[in-house]
């Protein structure tokens, strides 16, 4: 139960680029790679251990071998052997489609899935890059439906300029899109349920328009204008700064200039570190794994101390 690194699961996307290779050193072989799934048990895309004597073992197999030891007792009781979150790096060379995600109730009813609450941490952004997050005013369902019919949806949306370090929390139901020129880390519930509502009339490599989910989205959207998406967080060096604390995950920001020891004996959850700058050796009671910018490590629950050994690193720390 040493700290585990996993083979990245790389995804070609219509809107993808090369920053996953150029900035994060991912082994991509084309210029339209949009996502690197770092930790996943989504069916068909299950992460595989890349380091140590369990290399080649899937995350699902690891959990099955010792559910409470990997996940934590309370996490196992809540989610069973399903890994409850999905971790990604995303490179948007072009604008993503405008989309939203259903809540747990709708997702369970329609897709037998969890909903998809997520957060974004911006790692790199071109000048004038932005995100779409929510509406720019309260919108009636009828007004929204009309905007879909006449291709004027973008006139109702809120655009937010972004820079490195900006962090956003995306509730279920909130309409959103990652804009061109943004590289970010994404933390989300384990779900691949997305309702795409507008795609700028783009065509895929076969010349086809991508599927839209217009009718499914109507009852899933939050039509209110809300300024609840930008996350404010302290950035004190060499300590743990809380970013997001929601029912599905907790995320902290750590900017370290020296080693940090953490007592996690009462945590009762796995711990994930996404390295968003520098490098760090992550050590628990059973071993060590070194990660650099663009890499992720999973520390199982059954340890008492996590030691972070570094002379300079920025980390996102994720637990349940």
CATH number for 22:
2.60.120.10
- With cut-offs at 50, 70 and 90, classify the pLDDT of residue 114: confident
Average pLDDT over residues 197-211: 86
Pick the last residue of a domain from 218, 251, 268: 218
Q: Are residues 179 and 278 in the same domain?
A: no
Pick from 124, 102, 127, 126: which is nearest to 115 by CA?
102
274 within some domain: yes
- Report how far residue 229's alpha carbon sits from residue 108's, in angstroms, rounded to the nearest whole number: 24
227 within some domain: no
Q: Is the pLDDT of residue 270 over 90?
A: yes
Q: Are residues 312 and 251 in the same domain?
A: yes
212 within some domain: yes
Q: Are 253 and 231 in contact (CB under 8 A)?
A: no
Q: State the pairing for strand pair 9-17/33-39.
A: antiparallel
Pick the last residue of a domain from 187, 203, 218: 218
173 within some domain: yes
28 within some domain: yes
Largest distance between two CA atoms of the chain: 60
Q: Is the pLDDT of residue 69 over 90?
A: yes
Q: Are residues 175 and 296 in the same domain?
A: no
1 within some domain: no
Q: Are residues 122 and 211 in the same domain?
A: yes
Helix (H, G, I), strand (E, B) or coil at 79: helix
Q: What pTM did the predictor assign?
A: 0.94
Helix (H, G, I), strand (E, B) or coil at 20: helix
Q: Are residues 210 and 152 in the same domain?
A: yes
- Report how far residue 79's alpha carbon sits from residue 93's, in angstroms, rounded to the nearest whole number: 35
Average pLDDT over residues 281-294: 97
Average pLDDT over residues 120-125: 98
Q: Are 195 and 122 in contact (CB under 8 A)?
A: no
Q: Are residues 88 and 161 in the same domain?
A: yes
Pick the last residue of a domain from 218, 253, 281: 218
To the nearest whole percent, how much of the chain has pLDDT over 70?
A: 100
To the nearest whole percent, how much of the chain has pLDDT over 90?
A: 90
Q: Are 246 and 172 in contact (CB under 8 A)?
A: no
Q: Is the pLDDT of residue 115 over 90?
A: no
Q: Are 109 and 29 in contact (CB under 8 A)?
A: no
Pick from 47, 66, 62, 293: which is nearest to 185 by CA?
293
Q: Are 96 and 129 in contact (CB under 8 A)?
A: no
Tokens of 286: 């059973």
Domain count for the chain: 2
Cα 39 to the center of its chain, rounded Å: 10
4 within some domain: no
228 within some domain: no
- Identify whether 196 is a catalytic site residue: yes
Q: Are residues 81 and 195 in the same domain?
A: yes
Q: Are 318 and 270 in contact (CB under 8 A)?
A: no
Q: Are residues 96 and 208 in the same domain?
A: yes
pLDDT at residue number 254:
98
Q: State the pairing for strand pair 41-42/45-46.
A: antiparallel
Q: Are residues 268 and 299 in the same domain?
A: yes
Q: Is the pLDDT of residue 113 over 90?
A: no
Q: Are 299 and 306 in contact (CB under 8 A)?
A: yes
Average pLDDT over residues 280-296: 97
- Report how far residue 187's alpha carbon sits from residue 177's, in angstroms, rounded to the nearest whole number: 15
Q: Are residues 38 and 144 in the same domain?
A: yes
Q: Are residues 189 and 262 in the same domain?
A: no
- With cut-offs at 50, 70 and 90, classify the pLDDT of residue 287: very high
Q: Are 318 and 113 in contact (CB under 8 A)?
A: no
Q: Are residues 191 and 249 in the same domain?
A: no
Quote the domain boundaries for residue 261: 241-319
240 CB-contact burial (10 Å; exposed 0-12 / middle 13-18 / buried 19+)? middle
- With cut-offs at 50, 70 and 90, classify the pLDDT of residue 112: confident
Give the contacts of 215 (CB within 8 A, at least 6 positions apart): none
Q: How many CB atoms lie within 10 A of CB 39?
A: 25
- With cut-offs at 50, 70 and 90, classify the pLDDT of residue 236: very high
Which is the catalytic residue, given 78, 110, 196, 267? 196
Q: Are 190 and 41 in contact (CB under 8 A)?
A: yes
Q: Which stretch of DSSP H or E encloses residue 88?
A: strand 85-92
pLDDT at residue number 104:
87
């Amino acid at each position: 139960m040493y700290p585990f690194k996993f083979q990245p699961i790389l995804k070609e996307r219509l809107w993808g680029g090369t920053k996953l290779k150029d900035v994060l050193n991912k082994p991509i072989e084309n210029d339209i790679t949009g996502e690197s799934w770092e930790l996943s048990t989504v069916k068909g895309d299950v992460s595989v251990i890349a380091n140590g004597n369990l290399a080649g073992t899937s995350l699902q197999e690891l959990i099955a071998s010792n559910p409470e030891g990997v996940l934590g007792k309370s996490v196992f009781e809540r989610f069973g052997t399903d890994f409850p979150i999905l971790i990604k790096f995303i490179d948007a060379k072009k604008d993503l489609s405008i989309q939203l995600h259903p809540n747990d109730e709708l997702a369970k009813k329609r897709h037998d899935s969890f909903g998809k609450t997520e957060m974004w941490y911006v790692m790199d952004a071109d000048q004038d890059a932005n995100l779409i997050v929510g509406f720019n005013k309260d919108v009636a369902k009828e007004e929204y439906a009309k905007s879909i019919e006449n291709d004027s949806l973008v006139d109702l949306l809120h655009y937010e300029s972004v820079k490195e370090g900006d962090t956003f929390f995306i509730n279920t139901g909130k309409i959103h899109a990652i804009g061109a020129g943004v590289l970010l880390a994404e933390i989300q519930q384990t779900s691949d349920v997305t309702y795409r509502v507008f795609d700028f009339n783009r065509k895929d490599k076969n010349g086809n328009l991508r599927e839209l989910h217009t009718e499914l989205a109507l009852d899933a959207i939050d039509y209110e204008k809300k300024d609840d998406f930008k996350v404010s967080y302290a950035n004190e060096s060499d300590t743990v700064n809380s970013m997001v604390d929601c029912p599905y995950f907790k995320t902290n920001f750590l900017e370290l200039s020296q080693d940090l020891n953490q007592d996690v004996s009462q945590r009762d959850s796995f711990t994930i570190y996404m390295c968003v700058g520098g490098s760090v050796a992550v050590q628990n009671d059973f071993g060590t794994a070194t990660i650099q910018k663009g890499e992720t490590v999973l520390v199982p629950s059954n340890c008492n101390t996590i030691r972070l050994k570094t002379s300079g690193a920025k980390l996102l720390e994720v637990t349940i």
